[in-house]
Amino acid sequence: MARLPLNREMIENRLTNIRNNLIEMNKFARLSKDEFLSDVRNWAACETFLRHALEDMFDIARHILARIGGFELGFEYKSIAKGLEVKGVVSQKMAEKLIPIAGYRNRLVHFYHEITPEELYEIIQSNLQDIEEFITEIEGFLKANR
């Protein structure tokens, strides 16, 4: 089966969305924990920015794997993360980070009522770099596959 071309415009648009969401989350990351938690709008906005960023990440991942072919796309987001490593799209280190990210994406979408403002604050303090690394690795993949 012939490899289908990547929709680079779609990928670039999703990367831009992710970057924009990171910019917004980084604004909230500059708040103290007390400031962040004191206003429901802070953590509600961060939850939305994070969910959108993660959805865009996995939209990109599914698209790339579908176009590359040779990998059975499962329904689980964790299998998509592993597929990116198997097909050489991202490093093993990035794939290992994407697996818990996939799990968190599922929590945001299906168990949103269990998400706490404190955990959102911890994520924007400690884990946004993982999303930035994803962008870097996808850009590297795109450059290598012109």
Query: Where along the chain do its domains lie?
Result: 8-144
CA atoms within 13 A on the CB side of 88: 6
More confidently predicted of 69 and 101 = 101
Q: What is the CATH number of domain 8-144?
A: 1.20.120.580
Measured distance CA(20)–CA(75) in Å, rounded: 27
Mean pLDDT throughout 103-124?
A: 93
Orientation angle between helical segments 40-68 and 117-126, nearest 10 degrees = 60
More confidently predicted of 31 and 81 = 31
Measured distance CA(5)–CA(68) in Å, rounded: 8
Rounded percentage of the chain residues whose pLDDT exceeds 70: 95
Lowest mean pLDDT among 2-6, 19-23, 117-121: 2-6
Handedness of CA 102, 104, 108, 113 (dihedral sign): positive
Lowest mean pLDDT among 31-40, 48-57, 68-77, 112-121: 68-77
For residue 1, name the pLDDT band (cuts at 50, 70, 90): very low
